[in-house]
Structure 1
């Protein structure tokens, strides 16, 4: 049975070790809850069979999870039943939710998701984050969090966690954006700033946006549970989330994934990080827009919604606009150059294109694949497939909400019987 805790902290697959009785029960409650999330509705007998717990224990655990409004009884299970059919137990959890937040160059966004994965609120606001600066941006983020909490309350749900996605180097334990070059931020205390702005004591966590995006893809995307997965985020900056053998690859200091700053670009082009020749100078959104349109063109307007601007680029390409098509072909080829390095080093099963790469993917994949075939050493790309993300620009916030909800799967007793989050 797969244990998603391995994704975040490298913990071994679920097993029981000596512990006090309360700890064992919390572990078993989480085991049952995770199994219903990952495997779908099951009868109590099937849960016992799948988890190795005895039937009496499962019945007791399901009763407690039901009291906490985390599961509910559903239809009779008639498929393959012998004797009296059992009642299916469904994941419920409408009384709790996780909040994912993202701040990026062109926008801030929020997504509120309940335990079943249903969105209670999804909102993205176009804004010039570098122009706002850290204080103004954190004000805007806190406002979106307030909207999310209100939307949850209207549905009778209470947040159990807030996860904030930041594009750049993030030291998660302290919640500090060490270096976010495209935002112009250095050593910004995002966690402390939000704690001072957000009412209540809901736990807040700060993470790199690419890491959260790949978590969302692994958990809910079309390639969910792929054990070896690379996700490239296409924004103004370019990040990379990597999952190896079902574990998020963080690196020794938790600062991995900054592939946009590998020296694969034009050495004459200045990157937002202050160096020249970074990969994102030829594949980032700024590079595409610079090649496709003059500076005064509306597609450069950071005040307009990003997807609206990308739709205009796609429309021009569909109409056969030569400058646009040439720009997309150059980006696709450069994308293949860098992705070939990742495939040669990591040998992933899937390379997922996210962000603007996914939106304009139909124009990028052909030149990208041609470059991959020329540069990847292993035959047939080492078994790797290039896939377009279906999560689009919601991947990071979706990953953030997913991570926020992990506290409940780790310890369902955080949610008391009345459905109100008890806190950490």
Structure 2
């Protein structure tokens, strides 16, 4: 199952018309069908798209020539009849680089057009304490290293997308506000494009939870569920909302800031400047502060460890029966269920997928969270909403970023194809 990514045409821009637009639409239609299936014959593609078989054959010849699809075998239909040669999405020479910068790490997930992983890494980094200029420079360095790794694997990146925990002006690639990074109005897309030195390669910026939600919807534990909420479990907490198979973006693209729902008017001050936000109760910083205060975020003179290391320490303590950690996780689980019930009452999702550290500690968190969810949902007897743990780990947002790049390429394959040199005749 596929999703429809955010529109990329500038507001007010007229859609192209004529033969070029028809070619683009048909190529995109064929590639999308191939993305949904491991392989299809030309006849099956014609049946699925409604295109004439001759049209599909012509399109397939062009896609094969540019190595965006490949022939993978022969399908035999029935006891008699002509065998059908199957094709699959290929594009091993076309790269899509997805990245995420968060409070204490930078993550990378680079793929080719078919989704084959080419590079995957996570770098511990104190982005919160570094300031936007230094953090963006470090992000650019990691991006350059990743681009080189992809090139060594035979793929030239045709697009880059970066996930950021905050409000993003997607059309301009500007991080409007990322409270936990202390970023305001950072033109991240332009800055990263300049550092990469590849003006022909588009750089896009998106909210991290939106991208993680897309990754969950396309390839996660609840893939294909049309009513889904995804919650990040990082230092901050964000949400991505899928309704009717579509990402809910809101009027200005700023939906999903669920971590800043006020749940305790007398609570702690949040990085956004407000008091009692949900993420002050369930974010990783809150859990670490309660479970292992000697490792709390923001302590002077302490290096920033990888978030996975902190979570692993807590998991070991829970398994050993550490009382302080057990109480801390139970409290976070109850607050997680309370906030989840607000989202369930608003959006009526079938599942609430929890990612990041929430997923790592799911066996201890979810019993408390699910009890609160069922108790506080208005329609609990009829609405079958449940928490489920993501299997994508801390890389969900960077994986979603790479997937978004691929979707943009498939939406407008002519831009990619016209830039690819035709193979020399043999």
What SS does the corresponding residue of 1:237 show, helix, strand or coil?
coil
Distance (Å, rounded) in 2 between the aligned partners of 1:359 and 1:216: 18
8 Å Cα contact 2:289/2:295 also seen in 1:
no
Distance (Å, rounded) in 2 between the aligned partners of 1:213 and 1:268: 28
CA gap 1:34/1:296 in 2 versus in 1, 3 angstroms: closer
How far did residue 219 of structure 1 move?
A: 1.7
For residue 120 of structure 1, what is the aligned residue in structure 2?
Answer: 118
For residue 39 of structure 1, what is the aligned residue in structure 2?
Answer: 37
CA gap 1:381/1:388 in 2 versus in 1, 3 angstroms: farther
CA gap 1:298/1:207 in 2 versus in 1, 3 angstroms: closer
For residue 237 of structure 1, what is the aligned residue in structure 2?
Answer: 236
What do residues 197-251 of structure 1 show as CA deviations (whole Å, max 9, x unaligned)?
Answer: 1111210111111111111111221222221110000111100000111111111
CA gap 1:34/1:313 in 2 versus in 1, 3 angstroms: same
Where do 5+ consecutive residues of structure 2 fail to align? 10-14
Instruction: Show structure 1 runs of 4+ deviating over 4 A.
Output: 79-82, 296-302, 417-421
What do residues 18-52 of structure 1 show as CA deviations (whole Å, max 9, x unaligned)?
Answer: 94122111111111111011122011111111111
8 Å Cα contact 2:77/2:84 also seen in 1:
no
TM-score, normalisation: structure 1: 0.92
How far did residue 82 of structure 1 move?
A: 4.9
How far did residue 124 of structure 1 move?
A: 1.0
8 Å Cα contact 2:370/2:386 also seen in 1:
no
Distance (Å, rounded) in 2 between the aligned partners of 1:327 and 1:88: 54
For residue 154 of structure 2, what is the aligned residue in structure 1?
Answer: 156
CA gap 1:336/1:298 in 2 versus in 1, 3 angstroms: closer
Distance (Å, rounded) in 2 between the aligned partners of 1:211 and 1:198: 25
For residue 183 of structure 2, what is the aligned residue in structure 1?
Answer: 185
How far did residue 119 of structure 1 move?
A: 1.1
For residue 325 of structure 1, what is the aligned residue in structure 2?
Answer: 326
How far did residue 156 of structure 1 move?
A: 1.7
How far did residue 283 of structure 1 move?
A: 0.5
What do residues 66-97 of structure 1 show as CA deviations (whole Å, max 9, x unaligned)?
Answer: 11111111111125575122111111110111
CA gap 1:381/1:375 in 2 versus in 1, 3 angstroms: farther
Q: Which moved more, 1:150-159 or 1:315-324?
A: 150-159
What SS does the corresponding residue of 1:378 show, helix, strand or coil?
coil
RMSD: 2.3
For residue 257 of structure 1, what is the aligned residue in structure 2?
Answer: 256
Distance (Å, rounded) in 2 between the aligned partners of 1:37 and 1:366: 37
8 Å Cα contact 2:132/2:182 also seen in 1:
no
Distance (Å, rounded) in 1 between the aligned partners of 2:244 and 2:176: 28
Distance (Å, rounded) in 1 between the aligned partners of 2:420 and 2:183: 39
For residue 12 of structure 2, what is the aligned residue in structure 1?
Answer: none
What SS does the corresponding residue of 2:274 show, helix, strand or coil?
coil
Q: Which moved more, 1:233-242 or 1:165-174?
A: 165-174
Distance (Å, rounded) in 1 between the aligned partners of 2:137 and 2:48: 47
8 Å Cα contact 2:220/2:391 also seen in 1:
yes
Distance (Å, rounded) in 2 between the aligned partners of 1:134 and 1:198: 17
CA gap 1:206/1:302 in 2 versus in 1, 3 angstroms: farther
8 Å Cα contact 1:112/1:152 also seen in 2:
yes
Where do 5+ consecutive residues of structure 1 fail to align? 12-16
Tell me whether 1:63 sits opposite 2:64 in the alignment: no
What do residues 357-381 of structure 1 show as CA deviations (whole Å, max 9, x unaligned)?
Answer: 1111111110001101110011346
Distance (Å, rounded) in 1 between the aligned partners of 2:414 and 2:16: 20
How far did residue 65 of structure 1 move?
A: 0.7
